[in-house]
Amino acid sequence: MCKGGYPVQKNMKVSLVIFAIGVFMAALDNGIITSSLTTLIYSFGVSPTWGAWTITLYTLGLAVSVPIAGKMSDRYGRKRLFMIEVIFFGTGSLLVALSPNFTFFLIARLIQALGGGGIFIIASSYVLSTFPRERHGRSLGMLGGMNGIASVLGPNIGSFILGATGNWHWLFLINVPIAVLLLIFGVRFIKEEQEHTRAKMDWTGISVLILGVLSLMYSFTNLDGVNVADSLLSWKFYVFFLAAIVLLVMFYYMERRLQHSGTEPVVPVNLLQQSTFRWTLFIAFFSGAILASVIFIPGFVEQYLDVSSTVAGYWFTPVALAAGIGAAGGGFLVDKKGPTWTIAVASSLGIIGFLLFALWVQNIWQMIIAGVFVGIGFGSMLGAPVNVLITEGASEKNKGIAVATSSLSRQIAMAIAPTIFAGFLARSFMNIGSHIKQGFAESGIQVPADAMQNYGPKGGAAGSGDYHSILEGFRSVPDEGVRNVLLNALHLTVKQGYNGLFWSALVFSALSLVSALILGAIRRKKAAKQEGSNA
> Do residues 125 and 74 lie in contact, with contact meaning Cβ atoms separated by under 8 Å?
yes
Whole-angstrom distance, CA of residue 465 vs CA of residue 457: 7
- Looking at per-residue pLDDT, the higher value among 270 and 249 belongs to 249
Whole-angstrom distance, CA of residue 291 vs CA of residue 150: 11
- Looking at per-residue pLDDT, the higher value among 198 and 69 belongs to 69
56-63 average pLDDT score: 80
> Does residue 4 register a pLDDT over 50?
no
214-232 average pLDDT score: 76
Residue 280's CB is within 10 A of a number of other CB atoms, namely 30
Whole-angstrom distance, CA of residue 67 vs CA of residue 46: 32
Helix (H, G, I), strand (E, B) or coil at 384: helix
Q: At 295, which amino acid appears? A: I
- Looking at per-residue pLDDT, the higher value among 458 and 47 belongs to 47
Q: Give the tens place of pLDDT for each residue, 276-303.
A: 999 999 999 999 999 889 888 888 988 8
Which H or E element spans position 293?
Answer: helix 275-294
Whole-angstrom distance, CA of residue 62 vs CA of residue 113: 5
213 confidence band (pLDDT: 50, 70, 90): confident
Q: Which residues pair with 200 in a beta bridge?
A: 263
SS3 track for 118-176: CHHHHHHHHHHHHCCHHHHHHHHHHHHHHHHHHHHHHHHHHHHHHHHHCCCCHHHHCHH
The one-character DSSP state at 479 is -
Q: Give the tens place of pLDDT for each residue, 127-141.
A: 888 888 888 888 888
> Do residues 312 and 301 lie in contact, with contact meaning Cβ atoms separated by under 8 Å?
yes
How high is the pLDDT of residue 458? 52
Q: Do domains 1-191 and 276-529 have the same CATH topology?
A: yes
- Domain spans, the chain: 1-191, 203-265, 276-529
Q: Which residues pair with 201 in a beta bridge?
A: 264
How high is the pLDDT of residue 446? 73
Q: Give the tens place of pLDDT for each residue, 152-168.
A: 777 778 878 887 888 88
Report the half-sphere exposure of 388 (CA within 13 A, side-chain side). Answer: 34
Where do the DSSP E strands lie in 163-255? 200-201
How high is the pLDDT of residue 534? 66
> Do residues 78 and 69 lie in contact, with contact meaning Cβ atoms separated by under 8 Å?
no
Annotation: CATH topology of 1-191: Growth Hormone; Chain: A; (1.20.1250)
Nearest-10 crossing angle of helices 78-97, 53-76? 160
Whole-angstrom distance, CA of residue 197 vs CA of residue 74: 8
Report the half-sphere exposure of 211 (CA within 13 A, side-chain side). Answer: 15
> Do residues 181 and 57 lie in contact, with contact meaning Cβ atoms separated by under 8 Å?
no
Annotation: CATH topology of 276-529: Growth Hormone; Chain: A; (1.20.1250)
- Looking at per-residue pLDDT, the higher value among 269 and 88 belongs to 88
> Does residue 404 register a pLDDT over 50?
yes
35-40 average pLDDT score: 76
Q: What is the pTM of this model?
A: 0.85
> Does residue 16 register a pLDDT over 80?
yes
Residue 268, φ and ψ in degrees, nearest 5 = -55, 130
Q: Choose the weakest-confidence range: 100-104, 200-204, 420-424, 530-534.
A: 530-534
> Does residue 271 register a pLDDT over 50?
yes
Whole-angstrom distance, CA of residue 524 vs CA of residue 518: 10
1 confidence band (pLDDT: 50, 70, 90): very low
Whole-angstrom distance, CA of residue 456 vs CA of residue 429: 10
Q: At 24, which amino acid appears? A: F
Enumerate helices (H) and strands (E) in the chain, giving the number of each: 26, 2
Whole-angstrom distance, CA of residue 436 vs CA of residue 462: 11
Which H or E element spans position 1?
Answer: none
Mean pLDDT for the chain overall:
83
Q: Which residues pair with 263 in a beta bridge?
A: 200
Q: Give the tens place of pLDDT for each residue, 491-514.
A: 999 999 999 999 999 999 999 999
Where do the DSSP E strands lie in 413-523? none
How high is the pLDDT of residue 258? 77
425-445 average pLDDT score: 83
Whole-angstrom distance, CA of residue 511 vs CA of residue 519: 12
Q: Give the tens place of pLDDT for each residue, 62-119.
A: 878 887 887 787 777 888 889 999 999 999 999 999 999 999 999 999 899 888 888 8
Residue 201, φ and ψ in degrees, nearest 5 = -80, 145
535 confidence band (pLDDT: 50, 70, 90): low
How high is the pLDDT of residue 6? 44
> Does residue 463 register a pLDDT over 60?
no
How high is the pLDDT of residue 339? 92
